Structure 1
């Protein structure tokens, strides 16, 4: 048996495992590779920043007319994109393929990391296979986003730390110096990497390795400081600002208050526990977050916040609505493009989550080395995630630790019989350490394959109609709009990829005038009114268009669903005072054909004293009632002559004083139905 154990851990087995992981991952990746641009706006943002670096424009938002310095994303992943563009090409498919390479490289590093942590190459092999077939990791390996590169560099950082001999003098320790570089770069890819820095520092302090701890802190501070200074000079991190809002997509709800933090922490904790941790490790089904999170909030007694009358009405309607049956929830999910998804949380979900957490705890406690480091890293990561806005949900944010959770779960399964054998003082059942991981993998393989097929089908499919319309309008804009056009739209970075025209967003404000003024300040020439399903369009942009329709002229429309490109002209339509959403008081209205009215309004009607100008420079100044000239007035003709008289319902009748073009009185005349009769 000892000979068999020796053969099972032979170097040749290790090499064979790495080859198998590489071949199987390449096969799966080739099947699920999606040439289409992902519909999340962030991936287009990363691509744009990488392109900006590659073409020498610095870290700038080149999709904006002003090319404002980029500050929303850290520069690590865009730097990688720029490198790929320089060495290979700037095609979207090339950048996606590079992400696949990062995923493969991460699997290689994770294998050696898991081997170092568990001293079990068979477990490490199966953990990497499960990661290679993991729906979420595969999905993001074909998307231009930073998650996979962060998995790679965080794994490199952890592996280098584990392999470093801390008995050497720190400044002669090349592994430690590489470790610092990898750790800082991981932080520059995702600021969540701060949890790595904190974990490493605490471990070194616990071990009383003062020189190493001090060097790490000082080097990290010096290397991270330039970016922090730059960010501060640009107004601070947008992510931090969003973090401090109750809802980053509803600024009108206001900032977080002290009492809000425990509720946010609790809701995120429940969601990760009930849904995401189990789904990350056992990714057998899609989660319908809309319905599941709604259930969690209801069970937790979370009270929805109303910022508008529409919010209050929606909340009241939801409270009065009859609870949906399971079948009705499934139909609802299918209508939203989530057929077969998880639509409600059951007691089984909690049981699975508890069992998984127990296995992970056992796996962590029974790790051969560095259990405290891994525990600190996980605690720091989830501690940050629990404080993030509830609107930022999904496996995406915990993706970097998913391989570690898989490894811990497997290790828990393997170490449980080992622990029992120790307690019973039996010989270590080492063969179980080999068999269990393989049994787990082949037991899960069928369900994992179903999800791979799901990704494969998605990759071969086309955009849903609402996004197809959106991209078709972007392509149309590329061919038909002026090169200096500035287009305001939702998901502007995505639009830019197809339109190659400057884009900008619209202000998230319920103040329609503020939104319109902001469009003018940004130099917007066109607006896209979409039906992508994001609430900000219907909540902020559409009401402004509805209130000021004259400022927005439809120049291109696609059906099913209706999607528009509109020409924006700030000078047109109404500018002035309002009352109860009606024009009331002093105001000016300008039409596209050159006509304009300036004066008094009463409940959406021209009423009072006002001046009306026609395109031919003919001008009327006088009294108005219900949008018509009624009362005393003067009509100025283009040649300078004028008529002074009384109008009734837009008709000039009775005695009229006529003046010549020099303003001299000419004669008194009698008019009837706008015609001079004597």
Structure 2
């Protein structure tokens, strides 16, 4: 491909303005002003509140402010700067949107730096802003967008560090180490970025850079690891999940090494044949429960072939892209949690860029071979954008709709607790983080066990005063909590009952439970 001359700066400004305008349109159209009902976004918010309040990285759901490592600290730390000034959700969601915009602009410059047409860099970056999955997470208080930003920033710093200086004299090399380390501190999945960079240095035979990067990365990880060791919070919870058969059914036990390997390849196949096509092709519906069929594998092979062709146009950085994609799939495949396409959200922009560059390369080659015209314009790929509209319209409708009735009841009980009970009142429920956001009281979860005595003992030990029996759709309530309540009705008195669907706030008689179970 002929080397492309850099566009004039004013034209470059037009491209940047175009991406910014497209971001403003799609982000505002799919924006969700409500809190997301997944629960994890509440946990991030609460950790940011703890940092902003001067309590460190702690659990604020009890008066003890116990140190925690439930999530890596990177995203709550970023949130805390806003949390100091406001407790609103809106600014936090805008921050996530800005991380997305920053990522897209950096991807534009990254593609452009690899001597591809500026118009192609624009189209490849713009398509990221039309991805339903990416926009869906951009309007949550979740870590995906900040993770994406620091992943792309790592690539950009490596690009800048390759401009000729010895690496030990180049500030961009050190910034790349810091950015990759912060990636890991946002999501443990960030270890894939470190592996990709090391693989890149290995394949380009840059041994000194590889050793220096590895050493710098480990040094950046040490403060968090030492902090956890000193306070006794143990290792990352994600590491402990690798050999668990089902995290939502602890009674199912653990897996053998052969079973872990089998699950790894099963998940890897699901990601390739189902999750990626479902996330990149907006009209490609997927059944994640049934085994992959030949048509899904055929679609995946074609899709990854085009993506691979696109990545191969990125010069020496093709290895970095390829290693990052493979390493990310590998890390995700180790998780025991059925993830569908959730955990590839931060990888999708890289795949989208590869797809668009690949399409451009294939079509350009075909047109030249058939002698239709001398060149293929990237602008002719823009009609593909319109395939994204149905999914964006679906996201718009979902995000503007009110909470489902089961969540409205759950939040209504939390608001009543906030109005009528002291903040120190301990309430036990499923999705306790969500309950805290409306109740502003001490919260805890119940023990996931089919042994009713063990579950009641857990309520006693956590000093539970009230229990919420809800119908949010999670099987643990029906499997663990509800049978224990039914078996010991004398320990639970109904305080609030909301119908359609039935949702209860029960007063737990802790003294009677102690007397009954400690005989």
TM-score tier, shorter chain, comes to over 0.9
Answering whether residue 395 of structure 2 is matched by residue 455 of structure 1, we say: yes
Q: Alpha-carbon deviations, 1:68-113, whole Å to 9, x = none?
A: 2121100000000001223x42211111111111111111111112
Secondary structure of the equivalent of 1:528?
Answer: strand
Answering whether residue 99 of structure 2 is matched by residue 102 of structure 1, we say: yes
Answering whether residue 196 of structure 2 is matched by residue 199 of structure 1, we say: yes
Give distance in 2, aligned partners of 1:15 and 1:450.
30
Answering whether residue 425 of structure 2 is matched by residue 478 of structure 1, we say: no
Answering whether residue 323 of structure 2 is matched by residue 381 of structure 1, we say: no
Secondary structure of the equivalent of 2:496?
Answer: strand
C-alpha deviation, 1:49, in angstroms: 0.4
For 1:51, the equivalent position in structure 2 comes to 49
Do the aligned residues in 1 keep the contact of 2:47 with 2:76 (CA within 8 Å)?
yes
Give distance in 2, aligned partners of 1:259 and 1:368.
39
For 2:307, the equivalent position in structure 1 comes to 360
For 2:427, the equivalent position in structure 1 comes to 487
For 1:119, the equivalent position in structure 2 comes to 116
- Aligned in 2, Cα 1:235/1:101: closer, same or farther, shift over 3 Å? same
Do the aligned residues in 2 keep the contact of 1:118 with 1:369 (CA within 8 Å)?
no
C-alpha deviation, 1:465, in angstroms: 0.4
Do the aligned residues in 1 keep the contact of 2:242 with 2:260 (CA within 8 Å)?
no
The CA RMSD measured in Å over matched residues stands at 2.5
Secondary structure of the equivalent of 2:54?
Answer: coil
Give distance in 2, aligned partners of 1:227 and 1:466.
39
C-alpha deviation, 1:225, in angstroms: 1.3
For 1:257, the equivalent position in structure 2 comes to 256
TM-score, normalised to structure 2's length?
0.93
- Aligned in 2, Cα 1:208/1:348: closer, same or farther, shift over 3 Å? closer
Do the aligned residues in 1 keep the contact of 2:274 with 2:288 (CA within 8 Å)?
no
Q: Alpha-carbon deviations, 1:571-625, whole Å to 9, x = none?
A: 3369769xxxxxxxxx97xxxxxxxxxxxxxxxxxxxxxxxxxxxxxxxxxxxxx
- Aligned in 2, Cα 1:51/1:256: closer, same or farther, shift over 3 Å? same
Give distance in 2, aligned partners of 1:42 and 1:395.
17
C-alpha deviation, 1:154, in angstroms: 0.4
Do the aligned residues in 1 keep the contact of 2:183 with 2:190 (CA within 8 Å)?
yes
Do the aligned residues in 2 keep the contact of 1:72 with 1:239 (CA within 8 Å)?
no
Answering whether residue 298 of structure 2 is matched by residue 293 of structure 1, we say: no
C-alpha deviation, 1:444, in angstroms: 3.6
Answering whether residue 242 of structure 2 is matched by residue 243 of structure 1, we say: yes
C-alpha deviation, 1:36, in angstroms: 0.5
Answering whether residue 351 of structure 2 is matched by residue 405 of structure 1, we say: yes
Correspondence for 1:540 among 434, 455, 480: 480
Secondary structure of the equivalent of 2:139?
Answer: coil
For 1:441, the equivalent position in structure 2 comes to 382
Do the aligned residues in 1 keep the contact of 2:416 with 2:439 (CA within 8 Å)?
yes
For 2:67, the equivalent position in structure 1 comes to 69
Do the aligned residues in 1 keep the contact of 2:456 with 2:513 (CA within 8 Å)?
no
For 2:362, the equivalent position in structure 1 comes to 416
Give distance in 1, aligned partners of 2:316 and 2:371.
22
Do the aligned residues in 2 keep the contact of 1:548 with 1:574 (CA within 8 Å)?
no
Secondary structure of the equivalent of 2:505?
Answer: strand
Give distance in 2, aligned partners of 1:451 and 1:576.
55
Correspondence for 1:225 among 222, 234, 241: 222
Correspondence for 1:212 among 209, 212, 215: 209
Secondary structure of the equivalent of 1:386?
Answer: helix
Do the aligned residues in 2 keep the contact of 1:133 with 1:448 (CA within 8 Å)?
yes
TM-score, normalised to structure 1's length?
0.72
Secondary structure of the equivalent of 1:431?
Answer: coil
C-alpha deviation, 1:57, in angstroms: 0.6
Do the aligned residues in 2 keep the contact of 1:96 with 1:141 (CA within 8 Å)?
yes
Give distance in 2, aligned partners of 1:114 and 1:417.
18
C-alpha deviation, 1:56, in angstroms: 0.4
Give distance in 1, aligned partners of 2:105 and 2:320.
21
C-alpha deviation, 1:427, in angstroms: 9.1
The residue correspondences of 1:79-94 to structure 2 (distance < 5 A) are 79-86=77-84, 88-94=85-91
In terms of fraction of residues, the more strand-rich structure is: 1
Moved more, 228-237 or 254-263: 228-237
- Aligned in 2, Cα 1:212/1:542: closer, same or farther, shift over 3 Å? same
Structure 1: which 5+ residue stretches go unaligned? Answer: 297-344, 578-586, 589-678
Structure 2: which 5+ residue stretches go unaligned? Answer: none
C-alpha deviation, 1:460, in angstroms: 1.8
C-alpha deviation, 1:353, in angstroms: 1.8
Do the aligned residues in 2 keep the contact of 1:150 with 1:189 (CA within 8 Å)?
yes
Query: Who wins on radius of gyration, i.e. which is larger?
Result: 1
Moved more, 174-183 or 50-59: 174-183
Q: Alpha-carbon deviations, 1:25-56, whole Å to 9, x = none?
A: 10121222211100011000000001110110
Q: Which has the higher contact order (CA 8 A, sep 6+)?
A: 2
Q: Alpha-carbon deviations, 1:166-218, whole Å to 9, x = none?
A: 74233321111211221111111111111111221232234343332222122
Do the aligned residues in 1 keep the contact of 2:470 with 2:504 (CA within 8 Å)?
yes
In terms of fraction of residues, the more helix-rich structure is: 2
Moved more, 239-248 or 504-513: 239-248
Do the aligned residues in 2 keep the contact of 1:231 with 1:237 (CA within 8 Å)?
no
Give distance in 2, aligned partners of 1:167 and 1:20.
32
Q: Alpha-carbon deviations, 1:362-382, whole Å to 9, x = none?
A: 222333331111111111111
Give distance in 1, aligned partners of 2:188 and 2:242.
13
